[in-house]
Structure 1
């Protein structure tokens, strides 16, 4: 008869603190803390493997060129970018297009925001290899950045290229380009600054055109009130090329921040909760 033995339960795997980085000195999973706010997210973090090179770039370069969107302080963009005009890019994927734009226009600073860790590491590596001193990478929710961490009229431009279209009707409330977001964007843009959006999802392009045209703080740069030709400074991305191969039509929208005539409207709407 076999002897019965009491086996102690295996110790539980340690739970990683979400305020800790997977890479020493690198970006953390939830910089603002889940307690910061409760709202519908317009983005969904993707999980994919970080390569050795990307991890090395995160470890070495994040303390120098990276920022956490924690909502705790206002960024001094003039100091960070040595006085360069600054454009905010929301969602940069793997960063290839961002690096190309930074290289083509070294006189403009690019504050690139995303939550995709491999993309953050890839962009940092590209910036180092190409000697780009005008790119900084921010980790976290762009809404918190706009609302809590940027001074009024701090930006010379804003780019939102190929945001998640959330194609199902029940998810449309998650789309980023909505009136509440535009009010936040207008607060952070200098008068005359351009918000440039691009999408290959036709229904989302139509929504973008509708809400941008209706917002009092923006005016269409196109005299006919429609979509714009792709500007030379926006490079074709690998993702865009795949969409074009499938017959998708890419729409660019370039809307200019109006002058002080709409300031009162922006101020009045600035405290409205953002839910999309």
Structure 2
């Protein structure tokens, strides 16, 4: 039997070139067609240049975009994508990028989410000379990865974004230096998807995660998106057999009906005593 989304058109609200990588993943896995939806400036929901703060969470922003795609296109299924950059939870000195793509199915009243995250360089620095400017640009992967230039510091509200070649970089640098109080120019990575190939790769990973999740149908009601919804902890210690905080199973569930299944993690029967609060307090 074909997938429920086979030959359906899915609306995707985006203005930064994400539709190519998202369509490649979903169309190959589900047999649907991903159509770009226009008519709404997604920068109204937040920008990486910080001139517009994101209202709400990353999930809420992606949901808003998906619902707007449905409203503008009249299609029953919409996609919304939202990225975030923060400090890596373990490697505090490394920037961490998380990409989330949400599919909203209006007819089934469900949401299916794909996520990809990991380290992702977000280069920024202050330059007063051409040599310092070149050093920051090289670290950022310029010109493959575009730049944003500001006078003074990274919190200055004036900026020149989308700097994509050496001539434009020199013009932006001179512009910012003229406006700067002391000749300092702040330079950072342009984090918009079409300006940042590293981020676009992560968006493609999130799209594949979404496609694989949506491809699995609930064994009871046939709804797309059957997959992991919870982790069960309490894997017994190999020495004392008391439960630990280690995961022992995953609960898979349907986004529409009540059906749930518990799946033990293959090859995981006991936990090393180093993870046991009794053996290693």
User: Where is the helix percentage greater, Structure 1 or Structure 2?
Assistant: 1
Normalising by structure 2, report the TM-score.
0.21
User: Where is the strand percentage greater, Structure 1 or Structure 2?
Assistant: 2
Normalising by structure 1, report the TM-score.
0.22
